[in-house]
Amino acid sequence: MPPQGGGVPQKHHAVHYYGTGDSLFTTVSGFLGGGLAAGHPAFVIATEDHRAGVLEHLSRRGIDEDRARRDGDLVVLDARQVLGACMAGDMPSAAAFDRALGGALAPLRERRPRTIVRAYGEMVDVLWRGGNSRAAIALEILWNKLAQTHAFGLLCGYSMGHFYKQVDRFEEARDPRARLAGADSRAIAPLRRTARPGASNSTAGGRVA
């Protein structure tokens, strides 16, 4: 289960397999809201309908969205737009990814240098649902490389209806991911599942090495 309070380790990477929007919004708002309440900035990259759901649930938790945005503690971006800026053809570009994501994270870190930014992302899920699993795996690598230079805790949301159909492929992709990263097997650490795929609204977590 992703941490709810203030204590998120640097390079933390958790995955939430969601079956319903409400399950997703509850988990994500708990993760982001706990950080915001403790003074940690939040960074959201989600599809349009999910952005609205997450923000509504944050409001229910007492988070003032307008104030958080105004104070620079909350950045909300569209997953498809950011993904488009990161792609070179059918694959993500490392340089474009660093410009887009590193550029968005930097102001949050500069404003609160002693905090850990909490980020929620759906770009990998968008690629996977679109059938581009190779690009999804490459994007996971880029997220983990970014964690080597930026302090943030990452929570990713994966739709069970699409991801679980190919979960074995994702597990088998550990070695190809290392090859894509330039034969450096340390570039990405496999996610440690804490729930078996297929369990309703399960949450899995892992920490990037």
**Any idea of the CA torsion for 5, 140, 55, 24, to the nearest 10 degrees?**
-80
Any idea where the domains of the chain sit in the sequence?
12-207
Total-model pTM: 0.76
pLDDT of 175 reads: 38
CA distance 87 to 102: 15
Which residues, other chains included, contact 1 with Cβ-Cβ below 8 Å and sequence gap of 6+? 14, 27, 194, 203, 205
Tell me the pLDDT band of 166, cut-offs 50, 70 and 90. Answer: low
- What would the pLDDT profile of 115-130 be if each residue is shown by its tens digit? 889 999 999 999 988 9
* CATH code 2.130.10.30 for 12-207: no
